[in-house]
Amino acid sequence: MSNTSAAPRQENRTPEVEVLISADRIAARVRELGAEISRDYRHRSLRLVGVLKGAFVFLADLLRAMDHPDLTLDFLGVATYGSGSQTSGEVRVTKDLDQSIEGLDVLVVEDILDTGVTFHYLTTALRNRKPASLQTVTLLDKPSRRIRPVQADYVGFSIPDAFVVGYGLDFAQRYRELPYIGVLKT
């Protein structure tokens, strides 16, 4: 017996993701970054500021890779992409810091340095809060897209100009759970 009133079956049209940086390569590089940052801040207190939402996975792994007795943590939320794959060029703060960074050594933890617009906005805004020092670490750097002359103090990987997802990075709030960095194919 057929059911003629049933809705037509919809096919899953999930875009394909091609692996760009494997989970093993990410883990090894994050351990290296953790060791380097721990050495550089060996005798100083350090406040990590994770940039939400994309950097949360990188930040968690980086924090565990660090051997540093005096770390504190805060988060700052910003948005420039919305639900698309092209930046709007406008930076919106979606969550401010919970604590003052005045007089502290601060390391901003970013997922990706792309055009430099968000990065420039963040570093300028945070410098205005008078930290003792302000440095940055980014998992991914895409220098070919730069429209602002900025660079991170610590870089995980330089990547080509492709829209990437995974390891915390998303497309329309999806794909963050992937354990690798992948290029989104439509």
Q: What is the rounded distance in angstroms from the CA atom of residue 48 to the CA atom of residue 7? A: 50
Element (H, E) at 73: strand 71-79
Q: What is the rounded distance in angstroms from the CA atom of residue 168 to the CA atom of residue 59? A: 10
Q: What is the rounded distance in angstroms from the CA atom of residue 175 to the CA atom of residue 69? A: 33
First to last CA, the chain: 38
Catalytic residue among 61, 111, 114, 170: 114
Q: What is the rounded distance in angstroms from the CA atom of residue 118 to the CA atom of residue 120? A: 5
Q: What is the rounded distance in angstroms from the CA atom of residue 72 to the CA atom of residue 47? A: 5
CA dihedral (171, 73, 148, 18) positive or negative: negative
How many residues would you count in the chain? 186
Q: Is 114 a known active-site residue?
A: yes
Element (H, E) at 30: helix 23-40
Q: What does the DSSP 8-state code read for residue 49? A: E
Write out the catalytic residue numbers: 114
